[in-house]
Amino acid sequence: MLDTLRRTIQEVNRAPDLQRALSIIVTRVKQAMAVDVCSVYLVDADHGQQVLMATDGYNTQAVGKVRLGFGEGLVGVVARRAEPLNLDNASDHPAYVFTSEIGEDPFHGFLGVPIIQHRQVLGVLVVRQRERRRFAEQEETFLFTLAAQLAGAISHAGASGDIARLLQSSDESRYALKGVSGTPGAALGRARVVFPAADLDAIPDHVPDDVEMEIADFRAAVEAVEQDMRRMSQRMADSLPAEDIALFDALILMLRSENLVEGTIAGIRAGNWAPGALRNTISEHVTAFEDMEDPYLRERASDVRDLGRRILEYLQSVHDVSRSYEPDTILVGEEVSASQLAEVPVGYLAGVVSARGSSASHVAILARALGIPAVMGVDDLPVGRLDGQQLVVDGYQARLFVRPSRAVREEFQRLQREEAQLSQELEGLIGLPAETLDGVRVPLYANTGLLSDITPSLRCGAEGVGLYRTEVPFLIRDRFPGEEEQRRTYRQVLEAFDPAPVTVRTLDIGGDKRLSYFPVEEDNPFLGWRGIRIALDHPEIFLTQVRAMLRASSGLGNLRLLLPMVSSVGEIDSALGLIRRAYEELLEEDEGLVFPQVGVMIEVPSAAYQVRAMAQRVDFFSIGSNDLTQYLLAVDRNNARVAGLYDALHPSVLRAIRQVARKAQEVGRPVSVCGEMAGDPGAALLLVAMGIDSLSMSAASLLRVKWALRSFSLQQARELLDEAWELEDGEAIRALLHSSLEAAGLGGLVRAGR
Ligand code: PEP
Ligand code: MG
């Protein structure tokens, strides 16, 4: 049975469309269970009906025609109760409805199980037997297990617009695929599925006819890959500073290495054709790297593999076929890489969708820097079926519409126009202070990571940097940046904003922010080795970074240092000890060096309850609402399956934040919020009402938040908070904020997809 189950699911997953998938299901189930009929009904939510969509055993003419109301007939009972129904004689059941179209007369035994995905009943799978008999428990569990797994396959097909089309449903958003947001924004375009094309492992040995020709071909291929890398790097250089694309230089160096080139040529001379010799060199290198003790070197194996694949593509001349891009390309893949993104001419790239990864993935970071909407972590992404399809990427709500109807396309085009218009209108606020109607100033700072974030932050009038995520430059490199390299990067940010404050956070890796050259394998990475924990266990990494920051601040005095993922005061003491040590050492070289203000991120629940003790050690607090929400609600911030539970407006999150704000006020320490929540105009009003002193957000959100603050008095914001306080869930609080913004004439902030 298990085997049948596995095979059926594989077949269904390979089916070209939903209709084919459903007919495979009914045929296979009928065979496997030796029943007389198997049918699938799908729920048509628009009309509150179950529709017969496929059958093996009933009259096939009835497909698409038989429709049962919700709760009507036995199928309706299964769908409504979301439970199996097993009857020896169907017509004895009070809910039984005779449907003549399907030729149901001779059947008695009935077993129906619901097909459920993400709490939604998608349909009902039914088997019938001529004779009267109750199905055995094993049969029931078989069908049940199959239905549970089919739900994924059906919703794949459904997401491709098939269900909506088959049922002529008007509500496509019901069937949209869900992921986690990488970059907000809306994109319309055609899918371009990217994949590792050439398979080195499949290359056989082969004796070459002409050794010199093979060598020449190989050299040409290496040359071509190098040109590609340079082109990629250059193309990105038009949009991003050189610092941010260091990744490509490292790959070129590796490509030109003596071992790789000469090793392969020696293999050709020894009697193998170029692809075979290349396979051998690459595999030797990969094994050698994988065997290394040093984690950084071990990770190089994947780069070598990638380069090998690229050279092979040229040797096999598949390169030109697979690399031409059209305008409005939406890059789609199992795991879209930064180099795949870089291959698309910037003006042609409309969006990015990846089955794996999160907002911390390289590709998401680059997409954000380029302002390209991206949806990551779409578990159910049917990658194999998407190439060339029309897509709508909804980066605001992390949704993907495949083959969207005209109505959906028009809706998103309208959204794009409204966004553009709103952004233009908001420009007028750039020079105006961020203050409430009654004159309370709330400094608005920018969150940055890449150097390319600096210009937009300055342009929108950020009053400094409230969170510089230093892990970003670490993430896009292929090794730890050295002290001098780091100093130069930090200096550029500090200088760009001088004399405004720049809050530089020490390395916050771990969780989903994994460095390819510092691999950490953990079952529970978000509860594992993260942020300050790694820093204290590796003082050499921490000290190098702190020294670089201090040296970068020489003569400026606007550096503020922020410690991430702190869960107890002992960590602060240890970190301060190291910071002092670095400072004292550097003081010998630079007498004018100022000891920076040091602050702590409040993003772990335990920290939220030790504000007083922490305040004795540090100068300021910054609330990381992204992690605080994740840890308070026990919801992985990057897991699309539980994304519906992740809500920074959850009453418990608001209560934790208010308690931090109050304690910080009592002990006289300023407190800001630097999580995504600060960039949500409605939430920002609540935060200010709670007594949060400043807000830090992405440049794209800053003017929206300023508009909201300038439209309310502190008193009004407090009244809004009082009202929100009475509500019991985040959804209700969001609705309240939206209606208040609308009432204040700020409907644009709500409508523009946020
Ligand atoms: C946060 O957790 O809210 C935060 C600002 O840090 P990050 O998103 O980088 O984890
Ligand atoms: Mg955090």
The string of pLDDT tens digits covering residues 72-107 is: 899 999 998 999 999 999 999 998 988 877 777 788
At residue 363, the pLDDT reads 83
Counting ligands in written order, which one lies closest to the CA of residue 565?
A: 2
- Give the residue among 486, 522, 483 at the shortest CA–CA distance from 504: 486
What distance in Å separates the CA atoms of residue 557 and residue 597, rounded to the nearest whole number?
10
In whole angstroms, give the CA distance from residue 391 to residue 375.
12
pLDDT the model gives residue 743: 96
pLDDT along the chain (754 residues), means of 10: 76 77 90 93 84 91 85 89 93 87 83 88 93 92 85 67 59 76 90 77 80 92 90 79 74 84 92 90 84 71 82 72 78 84 86 87 81 90 83 92 90 92 94 97 95 91 97 84 96 97 96 84 93 97 98 96 98 98 95 95 98 98 96 90 90 98 98 95 98 95 96 98 98 96 90 54
Does ligand 1 come within 6 angstroms of the Cβ of 653?
A: no
Beta strands in 93-167 (DSSP E): 109-117, 120-129
pLDDT at 196: 63
Strand order in the sheet with 109-117: 67-69, 49-56, 37-44, 120-129, 109-117, 85-87
**Single-letter amino acid, residue 578:** L
Q: What is the pLDDT of residues 499-530, one digit of tens each?
A: 999 999 999 999 888 887 888 889 999 999 99
* Whether residue 508 has its Cβ less than 6 Å from ligand 1: yes
Closest ligand relative to 638 C-alpha: 1
Helix (H, G, I), strand (E, B) or coil at 440: coil
CB of 513 shorter than 6 A to ligand 1: no
pLDDT value at residue 262: 92
Distance CA 375, CA 398 (A): 5
626 in contact with ligand 1, CB cutoff 6 A:
yes
CB neighbour list of residue 487: distance below 8 Å, 6 or more residues apart: 548, 549, 551, 552
Please work out whether the CB of residue 526 comes within 6 Å of at least one atom of ligand 1: no
Asked if 27 contacts 8 with a C-beta cutoff of 8 angstroms, the reply is: no
Ligand 1, atom 6: nearest CA belongs to which residue? Answer: 624
Phi and psi dihedrals of 486, rounded to 5? -65, -45
**Domains, the chain:** 2-173 (3.30.450.40), 186-195+327-422 (3.50.30.10), 200-318 (1.10.274.10), 430-753 (3.20.20.60)
Q: For the chain, how big is the Rg over CA atoms in Å?
A: 30
Contact present, 24 and 11 (Cβ < 8 Å): yes
Q: How far is the CA of 752 from the centre of ligand 1 (A)?
A: 24
Query: Does 669 sit in the ligand 1 pocket, CB within 6 Å?
Result: no
Residues 6+ apart with CB under 8 A from 218: 264, 265, 268, 274, 277, 278, 311, 315
- The torsion of the CA quartet 67, 70, 74, 80, rounded to 10 degrees, works out to 140
If you search the block for the tokens 């040359």, which residue do you land on? 223
pLDDT score, position 346: 76
Amino acid in position 187:
A
Does the pTM surpass 0.85? The reply is no
Count Cα atoms within 13 angstroms, Cβ side, for 374.
33
Number of helices (H) and strands (E), helices first, in the chain? 29, 22
Helix, strand, coil percentages (3-state) for the chain, rounded to 5, are 50, 15, 30
Q: Are 454 and 489 in contact (CB under 8 A)?
A: no
- CA-based nearest residue to 721, from 644, 629, 649: 649
- Atom 4 (ligand 1) nearest CA: 624
Q: Nearest bound ligand to CA 470?
A: 1
All residues at 6 or more sequence positions from 310 whose CB lies less than 8 Å from its CB, including other chains: 198, 225, 228
Q: CB of 397 closer than 6 A to ligand 1?
A: no
Q: Which of 271, 345, 255, 267 is nearest to 309 (CA)?
A: 255
For residue range 604-632, list pLDDT tens digits in order. 999 999 999 999 999 999 999 999 999 99
In this structure, what DSSP letter does residue 668 have? T
CB 675 near ligand 1, within 6 Å: yes
Tell how far the Cα of 625 is from the centroid of ligand 1, in angstroms. 7
Intra-chain end-to-end CA distance of the chain, in Å = 47
Q: Give the per-residue pLDDT at 14.
A: 72
Instruction: Identify the pLDDT of residue 322.
Output: 45
Strands 597-602 and 620-623: parallel
Q: What token pair was written down for 310?
A: 């690229």
Q: Which atom of ligand 1 is nearest to the CA of 467?
A: 5
605: DSSP letter: H
Return the structure tokens found at 195.
Answer: 């994949």
Expressed in angstroms and rounded, the spacing between residue 565 Cα and the centre of ligand 1 is 9
Query: Could you tell me if the CB of 469 is within 6 A of ligand 1?
Result: yes
What whole-number distance in Å separates Cα of residue 555 and Cα of residue 558? 9
Under a CB-based contact definition with an 8 Å cutoff, are residues 41 and 75 in contact?
A: yes
pLDDT at 557: 92
The reply to whether omega before 241 is within 30° of 0 (cis) is no
CA 680 → CA 273, 620, 685, 752, distances in Å?
59, 22, 9, 12
Sign of CA dihedral 170, 173, 177, 182: positive
Q: Is 449 in the pocket of ligand 1 (CB under 6 A)?
A: no
DSSP bridge pairs for 192: 331
Atom of ligand 1 nearest to the CA of 469: 9
Q: From CA 33, how far away is CA 135, in angstroms rounded?
A: 10
**Residue of the nearest CA to atom 9 in ligand 1?**
469
CA distance 125 to 54: 10
> Whole-angstrom Cα distance, residue 709 to residue 694?
12
Contacts of 676 (CB under 8 A, 6+ apart): 625, 626, 648, 697
Determine the distance separating the centroid of ligand 1 and the alpha carbon of 361, expressed in angstroms: 14
Ligand nearest, relative to CA of residue 673: 1
- Catalytic positions, please? 362, 674
Identify the pLDDT of residue 319: 44
Ligand 1 atom closest to 630 (CA):
2
Q: What is the pLDDT of residue 752?
A: 56
Task: Compute, in angstroms, the gap from residue 454 CA to the centroid of ligand 2.
Answer: 21
The closest residue, in CA terms, to atom 3 on ligand 1 is 624
Pocket test residue of 474, 626, 637, 671 for ligand 1, highest count of atoms within 8 A of CB: 626
The rounded distance, in Å, linking the Cα atoms of 731 and 727 is 9
Q: Please report the atom of ligand 1 found closest to the CA of residue 508.
A: 9
Query: Which H or E run includes 752?
Result: none
- Which positions ≥6 away from 692 have C-beta within 8 Å? 623, 657, 661, 671, 672, 673
Handedness of CA 665, 670, 676, 680 (dihedral sign): positive
How would you write 206-253 as a 3-class SS string?
CCCCCHHHHHHHHHHHHHHHHHHHHHHHHHHHHHCCHHHHHHHHHHHH
